[in-house]
Amino acid sequence: MDKLKSVLSGEEARAENRTVAQTVNEASTLGWGTRMKGFVACFVVGGVCAVLGVCLLFLPKIGIILFIVFYTFGNLCTLFSTMFLMGPMKQVKRMCDKTRALATTLMITCLVLTLCAVFWWKNFGLALLFVILQVLSFAWYSLSYIPFVRDAILKLLSVCI
């Protein structure tokens, strides 16, 4: 009966003309309350992972590895939490804007290089350097959402230097 209703109302013809992205977007549309719950949950998990990573830093032998893994996972959760607010496609488009493309590239590169330095290269000094760069690039990326703040910071730095 539902199939008959969709054919008679013309929904069937419209459904055939949709792209894959439109179909996925319609299937994954969340209500505002669900988006807020997802955002808060991911953001809290990210914050807890970052704090837990700092606490685990002081464990002998494996503390540095646990810190880097938890801190990086926390940053990823925090980044993904914003996808609940805007939706994944819109968030990725905003991340790739010309004002944020460099900051996004640096942030993702630092996340990947941090994990490579720990697990593949086993160089903890380099991993800590990448964690510091992660913090700076994530902050620079976050500041890009506040109008004129990055310009003000650059002017302040040019005056100081």
Domain presence at residue 120: yes
Instruction: Collapse the DSSP code of 121 into the 3-class scheme (helix H, G, I; strand E, B; otherwise coil) and give the result.
Output: coil
Q: What pLDDT does residue 4 have?
A: 44
Mean pLDDT estimate for the chain: 85
- This model's pTM is above 0.85: no
pLDDT over 60 (residue 24): no
Domain presence at residue 62: yes
pLDDT digits (tens, 9 = 90+) for 65-80: 999 999 999 999 999 9
Domain presence at residue 3: no
| More confident of the two residues 20 and 43 | 43
CA–CA separation, 99 and 83 (whole Å): 18
Q: What pLDDT does residue 20 have?
A: 65
Q: What pLDDT does residue 81 have?
A: 92
- 3-class SS string, 33-53: HHHHHHHHHHHHHHHHHHHHH
Domain presence at residue 14: no
Handedness of CA 13, 19, 22, 23 (dihedral sign): positive
Q: What pLDDT does residue 42 have?
A: 96
pLDDT over 70 (residue 49): yes
Residues 52-69 as b or e (16 or more Cβ within 10 Å = b): bbeebeeeeeeebbbbbb
Of 37, 91, 47, the residue nearest 71 (C-alpha): 47
Domain presence at residue 91: yes
Domain presence at residue 156: yes
Q: What distance lies between CA 97 and its chain's CA centroid?
A: 15
Half-sphere exposure of 151 (CA within 13 A, CB side): 5
| Total number of domains constituting the chain | 1
Q: What pLDDT does residue 2 have?
A: 57
Of 115, 110, 104, 113, the residue nearest 134 (C-alpha): 110
pLDDT digits (tens, 9 = 90+) for 74-131: 999 999 998 888 888 888 999 999 988 999 999 999 999 999 999 999 998 999 999 9
Half-sphere exposure of 138 (CA within 13 A, CB side): 17
Domain that holds residue 118: 32-160
pLDDT over 50 (residue 3): yes
Domain presence at residue 127: yes
pLDDT tier, 56 (very low <50, low <70, confident <90, very high otherwise)? very high
Domain presence at residue 23: no
CA 23, 19, 100: angle at the middle one, nearest 5? Answer: 85
> How crowded is residue 150: how many other Cβ atoms within 10 Å of its Cβ?
17
